[in-house]
Amino acid sequence: MLAPILKVLSLFVLCALAQPVLGADMQFRLIPFGDPLECGEKCTQVIGAEGEIRIDTPRKFLKFVAENVDDPRVRSIVFLHSPGGGVDAAMRLGRVFRKTGMLAVVARIAPAEPGQGPAVNLPDARCFSACVYAFMGAKKRVVPPSSLVGIHRMFFYDDGDAAKANQGKGKRTYGTPQFVERLAAYASAMGVSRELIYKAEKIDPDHIHIVTPKELRSWRLGEDTY
């Protein structure tokens, strides 16, 4: 069932639109994938997920899926665009992706105008930081050439500095060796090489290492073509 969808993905065209505010909590919505002129209300629906992964994001996603699971138009395909968020929350979201059999694509899409073909692929899609841990939970993972996946060392803001943390200025605490191994074990359970985690832990948290196509394949994180 996924093959036709993946084939259609290759027909995307670029369309320049304003970038969403990624500091906001991750939101989910259904997006018609086909040409409305041809399929009308019967168009295949996919899931768009944009924003930051917060502590309640996994619960919200489960609720979203439960509300739409009986709609025959909806496919288990999620398009991710996120700057990251909480590491624990991202792992829990990844496990929900795996449980619900999601195919994840690092991309942003918008409904096409009638007669203009399939959904429109928007520029500048990315999955950075903790988003990568949610992404690796998907049953199948795709990173189009125009999208970016980025990693760096995980860190947490002290709870007592919440106001500054919201501004990205709180005191940082880094993952313990035990937590790093927990994250590596999670990656392994999802079929991804632990080397991704160890590489990320070597990257200064103020920088982003963009995963190369070679790393994408060697770490088994995903496919870099449609």
Rg for the chain (alpha carbons), in Å? 17
Domains and CATH numbers, the chain: 2-152+207-218 (3.90.226)
Q: How confident is the model at residue 13 (pLDDT cuts 50, 70, 90)?
A: very low
pLDDT at 112: 87
Mean pLDDT of the chain: 85
Average pLDDT, stretch 132-147? 96
**How many residues are given for the chain?**
226
pLDDT at 6: 38
pLDDT at 75: 95
pLDDT at 225: 64
Between vectors from CA 56 to CA 184 and to CA 205, what angle results, nearest 5°? 45
The position carrying tokens 């970038």 is 19
Average pLDDT, stretch 10-17? 28
Q: Which range, of 5-14, 45-54, 171-180, averages the lowest pLDDT?
A: 5-14
pLDDT at 119: 87
Average pLDDT, stretch 72-91? 96
Task: Give the Cα separation of 104 and 140 in Å (integer).
Answer: 6
Helices and strands, counts by H and E, the chain? 9, 12
Strand 103-106 relative to strand 74-81, pairing: parallel
Tokens encoding 81: 């665009």
The answer on pLDDT for 1 being more than 70 is: no
The position carrying tokens 């694509």 is 105
Q: How confident is the model at residue 19 (pLDDT cuts 50, 70, 90)?
A: very low
